[in-house]
Amino acid sequence: MCMRENRLYANINKSIFGAMEIPFLGCFLCKDGVRADQEKVCAIAQWPVPVPQKDLRKWLDLANYLHKYSVNYAKMARPLTNLLKKDAVWSWTSEAQQACEAIKSSLQSAPVLALPDEDRPFSGM
């Protein structure tokens, strides 16, 4: 089927041809798979210690956007999300600092996510 037959049209100004990778919904697509946007990873890594609860929520929102590139993200973020609970006493502890650093480190070494090869055995986490 042709795009025109289905009333679909491509805008030449928004089209990308011959690129090794293309931006798509906050990440980059390439022949090997999907990788995190390095600008977002750098923003997370360079963010100062999110001391007020409001800043922690903003930082976690951004980090959570990239959680799929991090193994055990929820487990790493638990000390931080506990600080956001309604009845939590706000105290930036060494455990919170370690959780913050672990997330930053994990995202900075984020892998390229590839689709599974259906001809080979694989398992989900």
pLDDT for res 84 = 93
Question: For the chain, how many structural domains are there in total?
Answer: 1
pTM for this entry: 0.77
Render pLDDT for 89-117 as a digit per residue (tens, 0 to 9): 888 999 999 999 999 999 998 888 887 77
Structural domain includes residue 23? no
Structural domain includes residue 124? no
Structural domain includes residue 62? yes
Q: Closest Cα partner for 81 from 117, 104, 56, 50? A: 56
Structural domain includes residue 57? yes
Structural domain includes residue 68? yes
Other CB atoms within a 10 A radius of the CB of residue 79 amount to 17
Enumerate helices (H) and strands (E) in the chain, giving the number of each: 4, 3
Question: pLDDT band for position 125 (50/70/90)?
Answer: low
pLDDT at residue 122 greater than cutoff 80: no
> Under 8 Å CB-to-CB from 99, ≥6 apart: which residues?
76, 77, 78, 79, 80
Domain span at residue 74 reads 37-108
Structural domain includes residue 77? yes
Structural domain includes residue 123? no
Render pLDDT for 62-81 as a digit per residue (tens, 0 to 9): 999 999 999 899 999 999 99
CA 93 to chain centre: 25
Please state, in angstroms and rounded to a whole number, the distance separating the CA atoms of residues 105 and 23: 23
pLDDT at residue 1 greater than cutoff 70: no
Render pLDDT for 42-59 as a digit per residue (tens, 0 to 9): 999 998 888 788 999 999
Structural domain includes residue 15? no
